[in-house]
Structure 1
Amino acid sequence: MRAAAAAAALLLAACSQGDAKQEVAAPPPPACSGATFEGVSFTHCTADPARHTIHMVLGPKGGAPYRSLSQLAVDRPGKNHAVAFAMNGGMFDEKGQPIGYYVEEGLRLHKLNTNEGWGNFHLQPNGVFYGDAAGRWTIRTAADFAKSVSDRPDFGTQSGPMLVIGGKLHPKIDADGASKKLRNAVGVDRKGRAHFVISDEPVSFGKLARYFRDSLDCPNALFLDGSVSSLWDPEHGRVDGGPPLGPLIVVEKATKGRK
């Protein structure tokens, strides 16, 4: 009887260890997944400071901007295994160069743009998405950024307009305006995670803004672009094409998990 009991205990322990190993080996959830809000379909990608790093990429060092996510993938084959996802992010000129604040790997390539003008970028307030290698990611209005940030971040990009400011919708954005386009944006939630969203169908500014405020609980969110909005999601085999792009936001898997 004792021998049988001992054998049963060993078998139970072995099964428990096997289950533990399976739990440890379980892969993390996909970075990108589908979502629906107020009848509109979105693709929602999450960057978690514990699992990811964020980088701005314009083009190869000393070279012209990539202008597309597919070209980024072709030109960086040795780094593609680390990419969780990538998205266009930041206003640019006809050559793909940033026209607002832009920092890549700690190097500032364009200063903060406080000019007045027309178009989405100049629908004040616009803002800056920035962060560091330690996974501290933030969105501020351009005016708040100029006043509050003195140290240069590791990455940064300016775009506009802001969609959500301190938990409130941009005051000049209609609830569901007539202008509906494919659009993408980024927000940072109260846990420090960055949420990148691209619409799968035309959407208004107001509905996109409410998605960040009401569904993703992001007190601050920034519009990135419209019409040219593109996503590279390697896990699902998605690489969007379309009109030429400018600055690119690349979210990579962290080599070591952060605590």
Structure 2
Amino acid sequence: MRGLIALLCILCGPANAVICTDAGDFTVCAVDPATEDLRLFHRDDNGAVYGSFSAVEADVGPLSFAMNAGMYHEDRSPVGLYLEDGIQTMRLVTNAGPGNFGMLPNGVLCITENSAHVIETLRFEAEAPNCTYATQSGPMLVVDGALHPRFLRDSTSRNFRNGVGIGADGTAYFSISNHPVTFWEMGEFFRDVLRTQNALYLDGRVSRLYAPQLGRTVNGVRMGPIVGVVAPEPMVDP
């Protein structure tokens, strides 16, 4: 019950800080991109892949929240479009392909200076939005209010999964399942509970969440791209 009440609170409006809550089947972190320092992280200034939340913190400082942010190859390079601090290191992939990433429609998480958007890939290609950070993944969980057309209500394919959706007020909801779930169940959660019109699957099985306020700080498996919020510097009395 407390998890449900906390979830209802973060749905009331844009968060003025990162708010994470355990909502039963899923844990959700709500981020207001207009006020929080939301970024993507892949390589440090020396070109080394971060690969873990602790490596990012050692470089940029404490994180309020973080999770893995898209699929990657064995060398941990991004599978699709990747843009970090205005620099593109991987191109947009528009064709269908194997695995979850290639199950069209897929999409892109686009982060600007003060907003975040989940955009279906072909729309992203046509509109060419000006993103400061971007990561492509797939499949889309929710597209313009509808579940991905290939999702099955009675699917038996279950896994730990994580994704991101954007609320009508611009809040970015990053969610990870607390037990193995189907794509249908995750899509319904983003559409019906978080009320996001567009939501994107980030990955499964390797899904990890860093949420210090919930005591979730274990790094686990090595990762590719990471999304996170750099914590504000503490106020110091003059």
TM-score computed with the length of structure 2 as normaliser: 0.86
CA gap 1:136/1:70 in 2 versus in 1, 3 angstroms: same
Distance in 2 (CA, whole Å) between partners of 1:99 and 1:34 is 30
Distance in 2 (CA, whole Å) between partners of 1:50 and 1:120 is 31
Checking the alignment, whether the CA contact within 8 Å between 1:54 and 1:252 is kept in structure 2 is yes
CA gap 1:117/1:49 in 2 versus in 1, 3 angstroms: closer
1:232 is matched with which residue: 182, 185, 210?
210
- The corresponding residue for 2:194 is 216
Give the alignment of 1:33-48 within 5 angstroms: 33-36=21-24, 41-48=25-32
Q: Secondary structure at the match of 1:66?
A: coil
User: Structure 1 residue 92 and structure 2 residue 66: aligned?
Assistant: no
- The corresponding residue for 1:119 is 99
- The corresponding residue for 2:36 is 52
Q: Which has the larger radius of gyration?
A: 1
User: Structure 1 residue 196 and structure 2 residue 184: aligned?
Assistant: no
2:145 is matched with which residue: 160, 167, 173?
167
Q: Which amino acid aligns with 2:22?
A: G
TM-score computed with the length of structure 1 as normaliser: 0.79
Greater Cα offset, 48-57 or 217-226: 48-57
* Bigger share in helix: 1
- The corresponding residue for 2:12 is none
Q: Secondary structure at the match of 2:97?
A: coil
- The corresponding residue for 2:121 is 142
Distance in 1 (CA, whole Å) between partners of 2:182 and 2:78 is 25
Distance in 1 (CA, whole Å) between partners of 2:158 and 2:214 is 26
Q: Which amino acid aligns with 1:237?
A: G
- The corresponding residue for 2:61 is 79
Q: Secondary structure at the match of 2:101?
A: helix
Identity of aligned residues (%): 38
- Structure 2: any 5+ residue segments left out of the alignment? 1-15, 234-238
Q: CA deviation at 1:150?
A: 4.9
- Equivalent residues, number: 219
- The corresponding residue for 1:247 is 225
CA gap 1:31/1:96 in 2 versus in 1, 3 angstroms: same
Checking the alignment, whether the CA contact within 8 Å between 2:168 and 2:196 is kept in structure 1 is yes
Q: CA deviation at 1:129?
A: 0.5
- The corresponding residue for 1:132 is 112
- The corresponding residue for 2:155 is 177
Distance in 2 (CA, whole Å) between partners of 1:103 and 1:30 is 23
- The corresponding residue for 1:158 is 136
Q: CA deviation at 1:168?
A: 0.4
Q: Secondary structure at the match of 1:138?
A: strand
Q: Which amino acid aligns with 2:49?
A: P
Distance in 1 (CA, whole Å) between partners of 2:214 and 2:129 is 39
Q: CA deviation at 1:157?
A: 0.3
- The corresponding residue for 1:63 is 47
Distance in 2 (CA, whole Å) between partners of 1:248 and 1:60 is 12
Q: CA deviation at 1:117?
A: 1.7
Checking the alignment, whether the CA contact within 8 Å between 2:17 and 2:32 is kept in structure 1 is no
Q: CA deviation at 1:99?
A: 1.6
- Structure 1: any 5+ residue segments left out of the alignment? 1-27
Q: CA deviation at 1:50?
A: 4.2
Q: CA deviation at 1:176?
A: 4.1
